Amino acid sequence: MPWSTADIPDLTGRVAVVTGANGGLGLETTKALAGAGAHVVMAARSPEKTADAVAEIKDSVPSASLETVALDLGSQEGTRAAAASIASAHPRVDILVNNAGVMATPEGRTEDGFETQLGIDHLGHWTFTAGLLAPLVAADAARVVTVSSTAHHMGRRIDPDNPHLEGTYTEWKAYGQAKLANLHFAYGLDREFGAAGARASSLAAHPGLSHTDLQSRTVREGGGGSTGPFWEGLAATRGMPPWRGALPQLRAATDPRARGGQFYGPLWMNTGDPVRRPLLRRLGLTRSIEILWQVSEDLTGVAMDVRGAVAGLTPS
């Protein structure tokens, strides 16, 4: 039988954090996790949009236990503050879904001077995850799920000498780089958890072609190049609804049979039931992860110190 939200186990007593939780895949992910009994921290940028999302979730899941935290992944300072706020309120975090992102934006910079897509899709989540390591490794068996895209196939690993693609920028080249970074981050983090003896695991997922506001926002903001309208139209006519697009990340986050280092996506690449997908680009993976770690630490000034988080655990 195909996997569905009905297969999510009882999550009562668990704490989940979802980035970009106020729309699209993040909203559907929050709704499903709350429906299974989890307390969900909705980390998102727009307070007004988040308030509307809370009302929508409460309409369908009256018992939903929700909390909101303002999160702007384009601000390293704001991202550190959001993670610190969550960590201080929750000694244990059982599920973290790094879902938020932008796609094929015009060339730009975050407030920290990072290329927009790399800065938001990867570096923001790098710093956010690092700030939540203590409650993640304190949980019984936490899972971190980072959402990539089939666009990772057209990405290239980060060039340490030009991570922001200065002089070579195109919208889709930058998106591919960011989504491949998401995948390398998910695999690298799982290796770090294992090496440190942590009980946590890290997985990746992608939603295939889903009809959310992501494609339309890209076009509205002048991104996507000449193919932006094509992808917007294809998503509208052939894309899966958001609730189906969210299933791979939900399965990665909750299926008891899922394991660290696995990758979930639709059966037929861009559509279909959520299944485990093979990682096709294994050649040079270890070196790509090493480069990503070094570049991410150098740019953000934030270390992904899993060993330190594990060492800081207080025996219960």
**In the numeric block, which tokens belong to residue 211?**
């009809």
pLDDT value, residue 235: 61
Residues lower than pLDDT 50 in the chain: none
Q: Within a domain: residue 95?
A: yes
Q: Within a domain: residue 2?
A: no
Contact 31, 57 (CB under 8 A): yes
Angle at alpha carbon of residue 189, lines to 183 and 193, rounded to 5°: 150
CATH of the domain at 257: 3.40.50.720
Q: Within a domain: residue 62?
A: yes
pLDDT value, residue 231: 61
Task: Provide the residue type at 152 as one letter.
Answer: H
pLDDT per residue as tens digits for the range 190-209: 999 999 999 999 999 999 87
Q: Within a domain: residue 20?
A: yes
The number of distinct structural domains making up the chain is 1
Catalytic residue numbers, as ranges: 148, 175, 179
CB contact set of 106 (below 8 Å; sequence gap of 6+): 171, 221, 222, 223
Q: Within a domain: residue 1?
A: no
pLDDT value, residue 211: 72
pLDDT value, residue 213: 64
Q: Domain of 15?
A: 10-309
pLDDT per residue as tens digits for the range 47-104: 999 999 999 999 999 999 999 999 999 999 999 999 999 999 999 999 999 999 998 9
pLDDT value, residue 221: 63
Q: Within a domain: residue 315?
A: no
The model carries a pTM of: 0.95
Q: Within a domain: residue 4?
A: no
Q: Within a domain: residue 314?
A: no
Could you identify the residue written with the tokens 């996507």? 224
